[in-house]
A and B are shown apart, each in its own frame.
Chain A
């Protein structure tokens, strides 16, 4: 009866789920979208001047303005990087504090169905173009680092709240049940059941956001809110490539430092202390 298994196998083969049509559809849609998007790009081509400028920029990278890098004056790179770090630090702190109410009010395990409203508010805040926010704050505190702090503070609410919500919704209710069973009061439950679970993760979120905010703070300067971005913009606009390169080197060094320590500390938070 060798033919019986063969028929059986052929039957199973015919009844296989046929996903080819769906796959072709998806791939075609993507291809159409890509081709459509290509139409809007006008390639300016590589001109004489662009080669010249690229060469100048590359040369400047190898030989930046050393005097700006090694001085400690108000407009030197180290000072500006410290300022940028400060903007990121205070801004992240501000954002973390402001996010707390938003986060708690958007967590399903705290407010139930109303969490949806909170999420919408957070999405709106997140979608607010951040340099618009900067321009608005400039009307309050002028073009300077304080504006940067305020902008980053409000901007961070979006991302930090979202991450806080994830942490909050991740709370293990088992610990609360155990505390309940041992007769703990509401305050004790919050203090010993919820807060320990939250702090390590909240701090991890803050550090992660700080890392991103350092990069944001550099950009803010370009929009006029203090920090190294402003120097970068002015230097480039005046074709002072070596000053610009110095600024870029400053950014690279600081960001890599921050990233390195941030990853180390966050790993320790999750696995160690």
Chain B
């Protein structure tokens, strides 16, 4: 589902590589946690997958799309296939909760009736029923992050990438978010989660990939947190 082959990303030659010959293979329906200290390269990895950045060298294939052959004008098509949850939510401040989720579907040109069916369902999955008409600023951090997740899963992507989705949340809300990710994974979505929340990693008992100074330090199934 996700394949990285000796991927290197260098921003500044004097500072060394942010990612150094990373190779990683994620199977369909897997739940992978990427851990590592700040600066280990977690966010760079995510930005390469969403094509916000280009690798300096190496090969990336996601959902059958070879990034080397991807033209700039086709980037929107790639991003529509991947659901992304950002640490800072990235909700549209001018739109209501309902409209934020609907937006992801409108982009793809889905009809109004189908949107009216889908949005309440995904809002129910993330436990936000009844908040449809709220503006993002009227919600708590945890609620906002769940709106972002609802938006990411509304199109039923095969892959969901969540970059520190719990980074800004208190423990209770953090767990709400993680539960939703697990639920989505059970429905058949490949989930890639980055975090440095030790407790979450230890309790989830999933495959954990540890990054250290841009390299894969360990890659183990059913693992706990160790940096």
Q: Is B a genuine binding partner of A?
A: no
Residues of A within 8 A of B (CB): none
